[in-house]
Structure 1
Amino acid sequence: MTTFTLGSAITEGLRKAMEADDRVIVMGEDVGALGGVFRVTDGLQKDFGDSRVVDTPLAESGIIGTAIGLALRGYRPVCEIQFDGFVYPAFDQIVSQLAKIRSRSAGSLSVPLVIRIPVGGGIGAVEHHSESNEAYFAHTAGLRVVSCSNPNDAFHMIQQAVLSDDPVVFYEPKRRYWDRGEVSPVADRQLHQAAILKEGSDCVLVAHGPTVATALAASVAAEEDGYSVGVVDLRSISPLDTETLRAVAARSGRMVVVHEASTFMGIGAEIAAEITESCFFELEAPVLRVGAYNLPYPPASVEDAFLPDVDRVLHAVERSLSFSEER
């Protein structure tokens, strides 16, 4: 086992992927000499050259459009979008072209392309630097959407994403880039498998990316009040590991979904609908959601009040438990 930060684990995962296959190309704004705005690609251009680690113009539509062409020619591009809110100029390329090519060609063409996107708030950034836009891409058939939450997953999931013959939107929680953890040499699960981080008999918290740490902290706090609260890391947003979600919901009878995005039309709503439909008779309470408010991301000075925290998660757990008492 080796200890890495989440950011450096992605670096090492990319390095492994590039060593294993010379068709893997990293491209994006300032990914070369600078090493990316979060230094995730630091050292890769030095080791692999500027033909495989390519500094692009500041044009996200051009980055993704060029990468689609490269993928169709047999390469496996990994594109970096500097910040979550910068992906919108490439939105048409992603949802109208990238996601549709396999279907449009009746399966004869594949586009093995990874789009890395730092996601979420918590770093005191300005507008367009702290958004959680997973639902846009999860709603688009033809895209795989995943989100790592710890260094071990970051290291293995980026390599698994590169190996996918389908396009993968790879979300990286930017406020967790500096979290340290052990990285095992062998992956312990497939790319689209959820991870049960903690079992709980009273309620289960479901989270992904930046809110996994929040859910774990809330679980510990709930224990101090005498409750057993489990935690599941989704890891994959599309497709969802519904088998694992159904199993944990049936065991505890209560579920709370936590994410940084607005709860309105968010990932939590899809999970709530799925679990309600498939586990109705096992549930002791409705599936509840904790997320950001349905507002534009606020100034950094008040982002702590905007993002879900331990207290808001615990309040949802208490609400879930109170439904059972009322019955």
Structure 2
Amino acid sequence: MSVTYVDAIREAQEKLLRDDPRVFLYGQDISKFGGAFKATKGLAEAFPGRVLDSPISEDAMIGMAVGAAIEGMRPIIEMQFADFSSIAFNQIVNQAATHFYRTGVPVPLTVRLPSGGTPGSGPFHSQSMEALYAHYPGLVVVTPATVSDAYHMLLDSVALDDPVVYCEHKFLYRWLKSPRINGDQLPIGKARITRPGKHATVVAYSAMVHEA
């Protein structure tokens, strides 16, 4: 039985909830419904009180997470779509990203952004926000390209003491499959050579790795 990209994200969250009592999940319809893309399916039942439905207010979601992280928790926030993170822009770039440099207190939160266009997504459910967030000091931005990346990068993101924007491409959710999650772990901040050569270099990330 193969493991899909979204399966890997769910399995990483399950491991984090099991191994670290500081971790909790927060987002719209992520509890009994399992999230818009089912990345939290079954986790609310397995971990009562730690997979929480949020109000329909992205600004409030991140504001709550910033406070929880300051107090020592490690929240994982699921935005239904990356586009909606713009509503929480102030909390992400002016609060989470700068807090450590203003106070010396870390803000270890992870914001999951279902990113990129898919057929029928429309103008408000198709944006890729990673370049925008990458320009803000204090934020770490990751864009997993493989099933194993999706798993290991989420574990590494939550382990960091910095706020992380974790951009997961929606096209990869069920299209990308692997026989298993392997140990080919790519450390945050490092690149992988997927196909060696000597005449040209093509740099890509996320879903575009598979196009390149």
Residue by residue over 1:253-309, the C-alpha shift from the partner in whole angstroms, topping out at 9 and shown as x without a partner, is xxxxxxxxxxxxxxxxxxxxxxxxxxxxxxxxxxxxxxxxxxxxxxxxxxxxxxxxx
Give the superposition deviation at 1:132.
Answer: 1.1
Question: Does structure 1 retain, via aligned residues, the 8 Å contact 2:8–2:181?
Answer: no
Instruction: Name the amino acid aligned to 2:68.
Output: L
- Partner in structure 1 of residue 204 of structure 2: 207
2:157 corresponds to 1:189: no
- Partner in structure 2 of residue 62 of structure 1: 60
Give the superposition deviation at 1:201.
Answer: 1.4
| RCO comparison, higher one (Cα < 8 Å, 6+) | 2
Mapped to 2, the partners of 1:196 and 1:102 lie a distance apart of 33
Match of 1:86 among 72, 84, 87: 84
Mapped to 1, the partners of 2:14 and 2:180 lie a distance apart of 15
Residues 141-152 of structure 1: pairs in structure 2 closer than 5 A: 141-152=137-148
Mapped to 2, the partners of 1:91 and 1:172 lie a distance apart of 18
Mapped to 1, the partners of 2:145 and 2:185 lie a distance apart of 15
- Partner in structure 1 of residue 28 of structure 2: 29
TM-score, length of structure 2 as denominator length: 0.96
- Partner in structure 2 of residue 175 of structure 1: 171
Mapped to 1, the partners of 2:110 and 2:73 lie a distance apart of 11
User: Per the alignment, in what secondary structure is the counterpart of residue 172 of structure 1?
Assistant: strand
- Partner in structure 1 of residue 47 of structure 2: 48
- Partner in structure 1 of residue 6 of structure 2: 7
Question: Does structure 1 retain, via aligned residues, the 8 Å contact 2:149–2:185?
Answer: no
Give the superposition deviation at 1:134.
Answer: 1.2
Question: Does structure 2 retain, via aligned residues, the 8 Å contact 1:79–1:116?
Answer: yes
Instruction: Name the amino acid aligned to 1:20.
Output: D
Mapped to 1, the partners of 2:183 and 2:129 lie a distance apart of 30
Q: Which has the higher strand share?
A: 1
Question: Does structure 1 retain, via aligned residues, the 8 Å contact 2:147–2:181?
Answer: no
Mapped to 2, the partners of 1:169 and 1:26 lie a distance apart of 15
Give the superposition deviation at 1:84.
Answer: 1.4
Residue by residue over 1:184-237, the C-alpha shift from the partner in whole angstroms, topping out at 9 and shown as x without a partner, is 45353312211111101111211111211111xxxxxxxxxxxxxxxxxxxxxx
Structure 1: unaligned runs, 5 residues or longer? 216-327
After superposition, the Cα gap between the structure-2 partners of 1:72 and 1:187, relative to the gap in structure 1 and judged at 3 Å, is farther
Mapped to 2, the partners of 1:46 and 1:187 lie a distance apart of 31
Alpha-carbon RMSD across the aligned residues, in angstroms, is 1.2
Instruction: Name the amino acid aligned to 1:203.
Output: A
Mapped to 1, the partners of 2:15 and 2:143 lie a distance apart of 19
Question: Does structure 1 retain, via aligned residues, the 8 Å contact 2:148–2:182?
Answer: no
Residue by residue over 1:88-107, the C-alpha shift from the partner in whole angstroms, topping out at 9 and shown as x without a partner, is 110000111110001001xx
Mapped to 1, the partners of 2:148 and 2:179 lie a distance apart of 6
Larger Rg: 1
Instruction: Name the amino acid aligned to 1:81.
Output: M
Instruction: Name the amino acid aligned to 1:36.
Output: G
Instruction: Name the amino acid aligned to 1:214.
Output: E
- Partner in structure 2 of residue 96 of structure 1: 94
Residue by residue over 1:61-100, the C-alpha shift from the partner in whole angstroms, topping out at 9 and shown as x without a partner, is 0000000000011100000011111111100001111100
Match of 1:111 among 104, 107, 110: 107
Structure 2: unaligned runs, 5 residues or longer? none
Mapped to 2, the partners of 1:12 and 1:176 lie a distance apart of 16
Mapped to 1, the partners of 2:86 and 2:187 lie a distance apart of 29
User: Per the alignment, in what secondary structure is the counterpart of residue 201 of structure 1?
Assistant: coil
User: Per the alignment, in what secondary structure is the counterpart of residue 202 of structure 2?
Assistant: strand
